[in-house]
Structure 1
Amino acid sequence: MSTQRTSDSALVDREMAQRAIELALPILEASTRDERINQGGFMHVVVMDPARTPMNASFEEAILHEQSIGGRREDWDADYAGFARAKARISWLHGRDSFHVQTAEPYRLRPGDTTLWGSVCLDGIVVAVSGGEAEFDEAFSGMVAMLLRALAKQSLRQRPRELFFS
């Protein structure tokens, strides 16, 4: 499954989010075949629009791109998309990695919030992965977020500054 939405960011768009996942894909796909990391063989990635925050958008409106990895969705043994979205929501609402919110600031959790972790908030870039062990979901989320940040920096370097000051 792949869902794409438009972006409010001047630099980050759905194609860039998809490219960040594509760059990480060899590792993500390999991890779905490693039972020490991922017993189900499936994974779902959610990337949030860094320009859409709880102040200016609903959670659904802020989802920039989603992608499933590792086989047909009909074969999933759990709702990895739902888990990834729930993790993304925690990081998006609080501007922190889900592990941090759940371990250091559990008083911020609301009724119905997930107790799963594995999402990151890197300089306002929120990415969540679900499907593997939590520590690897977090690592893969961080990898995609770092790649997205690198692609945004590259785009800024290649684009005229007038784009932002028109």
Structure 2
Amino acid sequence: MSAILDRDMAEKAVRITGMAFTGMLGENFLNRNALHVVVLDPTRCYGSNTFAQAILYEGSFGESRKKWERPFDEFARDKALISWRTGMDTHLVQQRFPHLYNEGDITFGGGVSRDGIVVGVSGRPMVF
């Protein structure tokens, strides 16, 4: 595990994101009822670890999972996996490198890879 980005730091960052999402939800600013965020451990390399081993933290906000419009947790994990595997944001894979998709990959944006830190998010509109 990273000496700097540990589970507590990831949880705090996700919680701050959740507060912003919850505030926008309360103002009827969003057209979704939930948000799910997955943060991967930057020390876990693709190909040397399973995806489950690489998950540092994940959390959800908004409605309970039973009321979700879609399986946002699965989508967020899938997006994180694509960014982890390719080292790219999923919108770049979608728009510029679609040949990197594997059979069954989700084709939505929402996964990012920044300097080894990979995050997958699902449930927020594309404009954020």
**Counterpart of 2:61?**
69
- The match for 1:121 among 110, 113, 117 is 113
Q: Which runs of no fewer than 5 residues in structure 1 stay unpaired?
A: 1-7, 137-166
Please list, as runs of the form range in 1=range in 2, the aligned pairs for 1:89-100 lying within 5 A after superposition. 89-100=81-92
2:113 is equivalent to residue 83 of structure 1: no
- The match for 2:24 among 23, 27, 31 is 31
Q: State the SS of the aligned residue for 1:114.
A: coil
- The match for 1:14 among 7, 22, 33 is 7
Q: Deviations over 1:69-109 (max 9, x none)?
A: 01211211210001111111110101110001111111111
Deviation for aligned residue 1:31? 3.1
**Counterpart of 1:135?**
127
2:78 is equivalent to residue 60 of structure 1: no
Structure 1 pair 110/23, CA: closer, same or farther in 2 (3 Å)? same
Which structure exhibits the higher relative contact order, with contacts defined as CA atoms closer than 8 Å and separated by 6 or more residues? 2
Name the aligned partner's letter for residue 31 of structure 2.
Q
TM-score (norm 2): 0.91
Q: CA RMSD of the aligned region, Å? A: 1.5
Indicate the percent of aligned positions where both proteins have the same amino acid: 39
Equivalences, count: 128
Q: Which has the higher helix share?
A: 1
User: What is the distance in 2 between the residues matched to 1:115 and 1:43?
Assistant: 18
Q: 1:116, 1:134 within 8 Å by CA — same for their partners in 2?
A: no
Structure 1 pair 39/133, CA: closer, same or farther in 2 (3 Å)? same
TM-score (norm 1): 0.71
Between structure 1 and structure 2, the one with the greater Rg is 1
Q: Which runs of no fewer than 5 residues in structure 2 stay unpaired?
A: none
User: What is the distance in 1 between the residues matched to 2:14 and 2:96?
Assistant: 29
**Counterpart of 1:112?**
104
Structure 1 pair 31/130, CA: closer, same or farther in 2 (3 Å)? farther
Q: State the SS of the aligned residue for 1:39.
A: coil
